[in-house]
Amino acid sequence: MRSKRGRLDRFISQHTQISRNKLRTAFAAGKVSVDGQIETDPGYQINEFSRIVLNPGTEQEQVLQENSPLYLMLHKPRGVVSATKDHQHQTVLDLIDHPRKEELFLVGRLDLNSTGMLLLTNDSRWSQRIMAPEAKVEKVYQVELEKDVTPDYIDAFAQGMYFPFEDITTLPAKLEILGPRLTRVTLQEGRYHQIKRMFGRFRNAVVSLHRERIGALELVKPDSSTLELGEWVEIDSRSITSPCRIFR
């Protein structure tokens, strides 16, 4: 989803009956504010979260837009589809009881039978900053395999793997062996079925996959208790990069 950006004067003209001539006068007279600051440039670029006010601080004050971004974290259970609508399965949105949930979209996905952290937002720029490979935001998964894992997997993951279908080489990934068939994988990107395809090079099928962490964000509530399967919590946008957990 792309961020909704546009010119300030165009937005005002679309939401009021003010002519272009009167708009120029309003800008020159300091009668337009954006996010609490007087704005005199008609071409100023706004987005869907800009707070736009005509005649600020007067009896004629008129708020034209006042949207706020939403950031939610959900602990996805097995069997719930990573989508906002589906005719066959329960969706992650079905698990969320929030008055503005229809505004939300997913920041990345998990397969139907995978569990763990899912993020939802109405802020496309935040989503892009997290999911873009160049952002190198860590995504950490606990992965159970069908067969034993050997140390040679570690080097293969660290070197990156070439995917001919996309004609790309994955960024280096960290593999930790936790048990004979249990691993922890840390990625800095999220290619299509990336973990399954990487283990597939060894003809070793993924039995279960659980996302533990994205950036600095873990599956916990504001009181530091565990976020249980199917539960969600509203978070602050800084939670991804902050060294500590931040909640609204």
The residues that are catalytic are 111
Nearest to 232 by CA among 82, 91, 137, 92: 92
HSE value, Cβ hemisphere, 13 Å, CA-based, for 12: 30
Residue 156 identity = A
DSSP symbols for 72-89:
EEEEEPTT-BSSS--SSS
Q: Which of 167, 171, 103 is nearest to 132 (CA)?
A: 171
In 3D space, the residue among 210, 216, 195 whose CA is nearest the CA of residue 142 turns out to be 210
Residue-wise DSSP of 116-180: EEEEEES-HHHHHHHH-GGG---EEEEEEESS---THHHHHHHH--EETTTTEEPPP-EEEEEET
Query: In this structure, are residues 101 and 113 in contact, taking their beta carbons and an 8 Å threshold?
Result: no
Which element (helix H / strand E) includes 45?
strand 45-46
Tell me how far the alpha carbon of residue 177 is from its chain's centroid. 28
The whole-angstrom separation of Cα 164 and Cα 189 is 17
**Cα 186 from Cα 142, distance rounded (Å):** 9
Reduced to 3 states, what is the DSSP secondary structure of residue 65?
strand
